[in-house]
Amino acid sequence: MDQQDLCFATIEQLSNLFRSKTVSPVEYIQAQLDRISATEAKLNSFITITGEQALSEAKIAETDIMEERYKGPLHGISMGLKDLYYVKGIRNTSGIKVHDQFVPDYDSTVAARLKSAGAILTGKLNLAPLAMSGTGKNEFYGSAKNPWDIRMIPGGSSSGSGTATASGQCTVTMGSDTGGSIRIPASFCGIVGHKPTYGLVSRYGVSPLAFSLDHCGPMVRTVTDAALVMNAISGFDPQDPSSTRADPPDCLANLKKGIESYTIGVANEFWDVPIDTEIKESVMKAINLLSDLGATIKNISWPDIYESVSFGHLISISEASNIHAKMARTSGDPLIDDVLYKYPRIQAGLFMSAADYLLAQQWRLRYTKNSRKVFDQVDVIVGPTLQMAAFPIGSTEIKVGTKVDKVENFVPTYTRPCDQNGFPAVTIPCGFTKTGLPIGLQIAGKPNQDDVVLRAAFAYEQASGWTTRRPEF
């Protein structure tokens, strides 16, 4: 296996290579660092690269595996963390220069669990400042570029996580998702991105955007890799007040059992908003393939699905302003003024009343209750992840179908609903446009049934083969 093949290998393949002593973790990590060195100038996936530390840890992993101290499938595997996951001793910028020199003195729970499983950090990844944009634009550290076409956005806010995974710079990356920030870049970059059930994965030590909406999840190249990472990071954490005490689902146990028993819902409302023809055609082909695999397809109604976009925005800006209140009320510091000028919604939330916020949360409770009734009819709901494929960096308005509108009014349309109700949702590649840009299929399920969602995604992945495609970069 050559260096590039190593960089695109799955966790299972790499684990077998390490244990059979065919390839050492040191050789693999060096291949990853060489890949980063060769591509980073064009992609800008990273804010901080930890190459020396990664090689040191790879040598330890090599010795441990040679001496039968194997920790499991993530032992020796490279990981990149969105630069809002705290890692002790490594700066954490949250994508803004204000925090350029902030160095945490403890690990986030996710980082600690991945380290405990043997994963090796190769760096902290680029993102939209404070995780506030679905395009991934970053004026402070430069924007990441889509490896399928570097003129196009990678999506955000977990932009570097999407580009690093898709380009073979990392095997595992972690993103965060408040309105779609795992699934948007995963879809635009042609990878698998899983937003877990709310509370299933701890957010302790992760810089927040909106505390009642934030989710942490993996961005990888295959569904099996997503399941492996989910099993490593899921579970109750007393340090996160939103962490669920329910036993986490085993995402691997039934992954390969097929979907003949599944009833899959397709919401009629998916087609009530503008959507590019190529996207709809690819999604419909994917739905037909799921039917061919034995699932029962059921047209359903999700009548209030798009209400979540309006009240979700009210909730997110209110909570973001609360979290960043000190910065929002500060003036005179050029670094802070620059952030506030470019991201006015940090201050906008200060003008939201408590009554407005509580009303939005009441709408959300009603919406979540109604969502449960919708999902009670089916095992999962399948539809588009996005209304369009990636578009040029710097775009402020785009045309989708026959409608021209601001970018931010299109991007989170299909992703925000499952942030508001906290239900699990994964995006998986389901085709490419005529210009070679990835198209994503979103599969959503019931709370704490992440395994059910990933099982459907695995069945589709195996039958379609889209996740084997690589960008020619």
**Partners of 301 in the β-ladder:** none
Amino acid identity, position 154: P
- Domain with 145, as residue range(s), is 3-468
At residue 334, φ and ψ (nearest 5 deg) are -55, -35
Give the span between the Cα atoms of 174 and 157, in whole angstroms. 12
So what's the pLDDT on residue 292?
A: 99
Q: How far is CA 422 from CA 77, 197, 250, 322, in A?
A: 29, 6, 19, 21
Query: What is the Cα–Cα distance from 435 to 397, expressed in whole angstroms?
Result: 20
Domain annotation covers residue 262: yes
Say which range, 107-116, 211-220, 318-327, has the weakest mean pLDDT: 318-327
Residue range 394-421: average pLDDT?
A: 95
Residue 379: DSSP 8-state: S
Range of weakest confidence among 259-263, 311-315, 329-333, 445-449: 329-333
pLDDT surpasses 90 at 352:
no
Q: How confident is the model at residue 345 (pLDDT cuts 50, 70, 90)?
A: confident
pLDDT at residue 331 is higher than 70: no
Mean pLDDT (the chain) is 96
pLDDT band of 338, cuts 50, 70, 90: confident
CB 158 within 8 A of CB 63: no
Please compute the mean of the pLDDT values over residues 310-336 and round it to a whole number: 82
pTM: 0.97
Determine which one of 45, 143, 157, 282 is catalytic. 157
Asked whether residue 295 is assigned to any structural domain, the reply reads yes
pLDDT over threshold 90, residue 349: no
Instruction: Give the HSE-up count for residue 136: Cα atoms under 13 Å, Cβ half-sphere.
Output: 39
Pair 78, 173: CB distance under 8 Å: no
Residue 137 lies in a domain: yes
66-92: per-residue pLDDT in tens? 999 999 999 999 999 999 999 999 999
The pLDDT-based confidence of 244 (bands split at 50, 70, 90) is very high
pLDDT digit string, tens, across residues 180-233: 999 999 999 999 999 999 999 999 999 999 999 999 999 999 999 999 999 999
Share of the chain above pLDDT 70, in %: 99
Question: Mean pLDDT throughout 245-273?
Answer: 98
Find the catalytic residue in 15, 78, 82, 108. Answer: 82
pLDDT tens-digit map of 219-230: 999 999 999 999
Active-site position among 143, 167, 181, 464 = 181
Q: Catalytic: 82?
A: yes
Q: What is the pLDDT of residue 351?
A: 83
- Residue 382, pLDDT above cutoff 90: yes
Question: Catalytic: 157?
Answer: yes
Number of folded domains that form the chain: 1
- The C-alpha atoms of residue 189 and residue 299 are separated, in whole angstroms, by 29
Whether the link from the prior residue into 15 is cis, omega within 30° of 0, is no
Local confidence band at 159 (pLDDT 50, 70, 90 cut-offs)? very high
Would you call 108 a catalytic residue per the annotation? no
**pLDDT tens column, 273-308:** 999 999 999 999 999 999 999 999 999 999 999 988
Residue 161 falls inside a structural domain: yes
Dihedral sign from CA coordinates of 164, 456, 152, 134:
negative
pLDDT over 70 (residue 328): no
Query: Per-residue pLDDT tens for 87-111?
Result: 999 999 999 999 999 999 999 999 9
Q: Which pLDDT tens digit goes with each residue over 20-57? A: 999 999 999 999 999 999 999 999 999 999 999 999 99
Q: What is the domain-level CATH number for residue 400?
A: 3.90.1300.10
Classify residue 473: in a domain, yes or no: no
Question: What is the structure's pLDDT at 21?
Answer: 96
Q: What is the pLDDT of residue 97?
A: 94
